[in-house]
Amino acid sequence: MLKDHFRPQSFNGIDDIVIVGGGLAGLFCALKLAPRPVTILAAAPIGHGASSAWAQGGIAAAMSPGDTFEKHVADTVTAGAGIVDEKMTRMMVAEGPARIHDLLEYGVPFDRDLEGKLLLSREAAHSERRIVRVRGDMAGKAIMEALIAAVRRTPSIRIIEGYVVEELVREGRFISGVVARPDAGQSKTRVSFPARAVVLCSGGIGHLYAVTTNPWEACGQGVGMAARAGAIIADPEFVQFHPTAINIGKDPAPLATEALRGDGAVLVNSAGHRFMLDIHPDGELAPRDIVSRGVFAEVQAGRGAFLDCTKAVGKHFPEMFPTVYASCLAASIDPVTQPIPVVPAVHYHMGGVLTDGQGRTSIDGLWAAGEVTSTGVHGANRLASNSLLEAVVFAARIAESIKGTLPAPKLTEWGDDAGENDDPVTVEDSPPFKVLRSLMSECVGVVRTRESLTRAIREIAALERANNRLRFANIITTAKLIAVAALQRTESRGGHFRADCPSERPEWQRRTYLTLAQAERLAAEVAETEPA
């Protein structure tokens, strides 16, 4: 059933701009486009299917007296392991404070000190305190609640919930609309939405893996759709694992925020040994990829890994980190007195649809923002809390780009002439999807090898041959792009670690650009070789 939350003057049945996804990037872009008519298509009830709502850390912005844009850029470049686009990063960092003030105007209750100034904290690999938070670990939830309220007050924005976008419609050089399936993707009919501009804000790829902190909607459909429409995909091999997902068997895995380590919590194994000091001089505050591999090694060795907050946070845990505290209590763990069992989990994808400084993709009529994109600002390893910053900065730039490119709205009727009408499927419960998630975790996970990646590509091809579902085709396309790019990159850099090529190589100090056609050729070459 179509759920439309707007007043009678909303633009029922007609579209000028369609935004795919109701997370931070999509909502912020819609607000920046107002009063231009916009339709947001969201797979889940607004705010519930977005990774943004689950973000615990906050937004990074150089706003403290001792901080500078140059320091923020330098930290981002260092974390990105040599392939950060510095020009894009400088632009993002310079516009950060203005976007923070936008969020304040939309009602986001960022933490303040006794003088009313924004309270800034520090996270891993940041040289200064520059993380703007809400009640310690509730930034994502609070930001989304404020933006949802602002969107609902804006009559030019229409939200249609429970519509899973399955296809980008391409006519010649242009994307001319989307095709979506109602009823949370369970309807037997599909609806077409013609549009002059499509903004893809569909989120990440976490649920391609068996252990993730992301909601199930983040399963790579947006990247796959864009690739199938002909868009260039950048850096798909770079997948960031959060080192401290709470290891209690839940899917998605609850997150023990980076801020805990920023406030002094330490990682220990079952013997109580603080193992990160053996690996990196920054210990628990080393870049996420290094901490993830440290935690992974302890878990694989059977020693387990635990985040000990008892001394650094102790009795203040409930009020300082209420979200993490509630997750722990639900699993009968008291983090005030007990270490928290942790495991690496897929948390963020640095790769995605290639975009420029205005959020334009390689196909006319298609813009993109948020985790579905690869702007180049994260390089091979995202700096903590830069993702929400990236989402709002580029969402605002997309709004300006669309206003400049398409100065006058042109409204188009939409209807049911949606072409393919296959039977719906609940993707997250299907056996092929479960097989794919296990395969990606085992073969394209924290540690990769040529052998594991070759196996992944062959098994992905087998799953593709057996598939007749459009939605799963989008998902498996993204998995193939990640695996092929990971096999191509014969080095270790940032979130991409090859046990058989453990060092960085100078010839690979560059970004990856890949089309689906190129990935399919490379996958076919793998299929033709004999298994090891």
Contacts of 350 by beta carbon, 8 Å cutoff, 6+ apart: 235, 238, 239, 240, 374, 378, 379, 380, 381, 382, 494, 495
Mark whether 288 is an active-site residue: yes
Residue in 122, 158, 190, 288 annotated catalytic:
288
Written as six digits, the tokens of 268 are: 């220990």
User: Cis peptide leading into 155, omega within 30 of 0?
Assistant: no
Q: Dig out the tokens for 296 from the structure.
A: 């992974």
Q: Give phi and psi for 369, each to the nearest 5.
A: -150, 160
Work out whether strand 38-42 and strand 17-20 pair parallel, antiparallel, or are unpaired: parallel
**Cα–Cα distance measured from residue 260 to residue 434, given in angstroms and rounded to the nearest whole number:** 32
Cα torsion 202, 205, 211, 216: sign: positive
Burial class (CB in 10 A: 0-12, 13-18, 19+), 480: buried
Strands (E), 5-65: 14-15, 17-20, 38-42, 59-60
Q: Report residue 86 as tokens.
A: 């510095």
The answer to whether residues 467 and 432 touch, using CB atoms and an 8 Å cutoff, is: yes
H-run or E-run covering 25 = helix 24-33
Burial of 35 by CB count in 10 Å (0-12 exposed, 13-18 middle, 19+ buried)? exposed
**Which sequence positions are flagged as catalytic?**
288
